Structure formats: structure tokens, C-alpha cells
Amino acid sequence: MGKTPAPDDNDLRLFHTGEHACGYWPERVARDLVLDPRDPRLPEWYPMALEWGFRRSGDIVYRPHCNGCRACVAVRIAVDRFRPSRSQRRCLARNADVEMRICQPQRTEEQLALYRRYLRARHPGGGMDGHGAVEFEQFLIGSWSEGRFLELREAGTPRPGRLLAIAVTDVTENALSAVYTFFDPDETRRGLGTLAILKQIEWARRERREHLYLGYWIAGHAKMDYKRRFHPLEAFDGRGWHAFDEDKASPDSFIDQDNA
């Protein structure tokens, strides 16, 4: 996705947002570092921003930067070294009837209906459950990203089978980035969230991309716990990427005691 900006380009500006409600811990407030969303070079800087621990939501490229808390840790999978665990192999076997399709990021009524069903089931009363077509395009597609929709469907001939899941995935020269995944809430037995990551790894490996970025892992947070099950996992410590060490990770280990 684009090229690395030349060294003599003007620096891309960073903004520090005001405090807002934390999306993970209701008793906390959060702040973010945001790359200037008006800068036309943002698509060119985005691959480097991923390496700095940022991620994309719509047209916004951000990284949590909260007072007194460092719980959000950017993580990525080293694609070539990944080997599925026993439970992940069972997930693949259980979904042998599922086909993967890579599509342009263009909203369809089928996709929107699945997205709204997912939000109503997984995020009731959280604000997102009222999303419609406009929010779908603002949040999942945006105006500048070179993303793709990875569709998971039941096998069908000659027409595509029933849509089960979509993994919104950004594509850069050396990596894929998992932006958001939504799936049929009635198909819990399939483990579609895990399957989506396994298929993104398969896609990245096939196209010889080095990493799959998974966004943020949060120690002690049940909804983020699944990310530690993909090995080898790498974590960003604010300066560089290192092997993820679960034994050293705890909710308190990421608190900045000087500002707590």
C-alpha cells in the first residue's frame, strides 16, 4: 500500500486526543495518538505506522496513549513461523466445508445484514448496534485504505454459498492487518473468529507477506485473550517488536506507576 515517504518529506503531524471513554475498561478513560487524517500522504505512511504500533479505524490511524495505563499492546503474527495448535487444526477440520473469497471492499446488502446481526448479538446497547450503511462504509472501508474483504462462505455450486463471516483486512507490501471481523452469531460452534485469522495467515503466507497484525492484546481482558493463542506472537513495546512473553504479562505490568 503505497511507498515509504522520502526522507526529505515534511513530517506527518501527530495529534493527541482529549480523554474519552475507554472501549475496553468502563471504569477508565482513554486518549489516543492520531496521525493527521487530512494529510494526503497518509496511505503512504500507513505501512510504517503499523510497524510503530498504530492501527486503522475508518480513515483514522491511531495508537492508544493513555495517562497511567499501557494495557493495550500491539501484536502481530510472524507468518512464516506460525504453526497451528491442536485446537486450531480442529477448527480448520470443523470448517472443511467453508470457502474463502477475497473481494473488493464494496458493501452489499448481504454483508450489511450480517454486520447488523453481529452487532445486535455481540454489542447490544453499546452504540454500534444501531449502525447502518453509512457507518458500515465509514468504519470498515473508509476513503483511502487499500483493504479487502475476506469472505467465508459455505461451499456452494454453482452460486456462492451462505455468507458466514467477513474479515476486513488491510493489505500492505509486507503485511496484512486485521481491521475487524464479524460473523454469523448463530454459528458459534464453528469458531469463525479463529477461522478468519487462520485464513488471513494462509492468505499472507501465499502472498509472501511477513506479518499479520492483530491490533491490540490487553492483559486480563477476556475478549482480547484469543490473540495470545497464535504462535509465534510478537509484541510492540513502544520502541520495537519482541517475542511475546505471556508469563510476564499481567494487568498490572502495563500500568505506568508514575502516572497511576
Residues 178-218 have pLDDT tens digits of 999 999 999 999 999 999 999 999 999 999 999 999 999 99
Beta strands in the chain (DSSP E): 14-16, 20-21, 29-30, 32-35, 55-57, 60-64, 72-78, 98-103, 147-154, 163-171, 175-183, 211-218, 233-236, 241-243
Identify the pLDDT of residue 145: 86
At 129 the pLDDT is: 63
Please give the pLDDT value at position 246: 67
Q: How much is the pLDDT for 225?
A: 86
State the average pLDDT for the chain: 88
Query: Hey, what's the cell of 32?
Result: 489516543
Long-range CB contact pairs, 228-233, < 8 A, 24+:
229/85, 229/87, 229/88, 229/194, 230/77, 230/82, 230/88, 230/197, 230/201, 231/82, 231/83, 231/85, 232/77, 232/78, 232/81, 232/82, 233/75, 233/76, 233/77, 233/78
Determine the pLDDT at residue 258: 35
Helices 192-206, 86-94: inter-axial angle, 10-degree rounding: 100
Strands 60-64 and 55-57, how do they pair? antiparallel
C-alpha to C-alpha distance for 159 and 117, rounded to whole angstroms? 23
Contact 127, 78 (CB under 8 A): no
pTM: 0.89
Contact 13, 39 (CB under 8 A): yes
Q: What mean pLDDT do residues 48-63 have?
A: 96
C-alpha cell, 111:
454483508
Residue 156 pLDDT > 60? yes
pLDDT of res. 7: 43
Q: Does position 241 have pLDDT exceeding 60, yes or no?
A: yes
CATH 3.40.630.30 fits 76-216, yes or no: yes
- Tell me the percentage of the chain whose pLDDT exceeds 70: 87
Task: Give per-residue pLDDT as tens, 75-113.
Answer: 999 999 999 999 999 999 999 999 999 999 999 999 999
Q: β-strands 175-183, 211-218: how paired?
A: parallel
- pLDDT category of residue 125 using cuts at 50, 70 and 90: low
Sorting pLDDT into bands at 50, 70 and 90, what band is 44? very high
Q: Are 37 and 60 in contact (CB under 8 A)?
A: yes
> Residue-wise over 54-69: b if at least 16 C-beta within 10 A, else e?
bbbebebbbbbbbeeb
